[in-house]
Amino acid sequence: MSDRFQTFAEFWPYYLSEHGDTTNRRLHYVGSTLALMNAAAAIVLLNPFFLLSAVISGYFFAWIGHFIIEKNRPATFKYPFWSLFADFRMYFLALTGRLRPHLDRAGVVA
């Protein structure tokens, strides 16, 4: 049996469990917001520098949350695409006030 998740539906609760600390999630939201702003700047200004800045700002805040706050290894290392998708799913669910039921189902109490 493989130790890798076979579907995103299996991965999602794991992803949320790795983001149990509220401060970690907030750091992710800061990074995601900066990444989206930089991506928009890259498009509007036709400057690819902002794409690099988007990646750096997104990961910088997320990795602080994982290595310093949660003290766990980012899921990005093993599941890069699912992690990116899950990060933005978590971000938009939080923005719309719909994240808590997902955290509850994943067993996240913070």
pLDDT of residue 12 exceeding 60, the answer is: yes
Structural domain includes residue 42? yes
Which structural domain range is residue 78 located in? Answer: 11-105
DSSP state letter for 67: I
User: Is residue 1 over pLDDT 90?
Assistant: no
- Segment 24-62, tens digit of pLDDT: 999 999 999 999 999 999 999 999 999 999 999 999 999
Number of domains present in the structure of the chain: 1
> Please, are residues 98 and 41 in contact by the beta-carbon 8 Å criterion?
no
- The verdict on residue 6 lying in a domain is no
- The number of beta carbons lying within 10 Å of the beta carbon of residue 41 is 16
* pLDDT of 2: 53
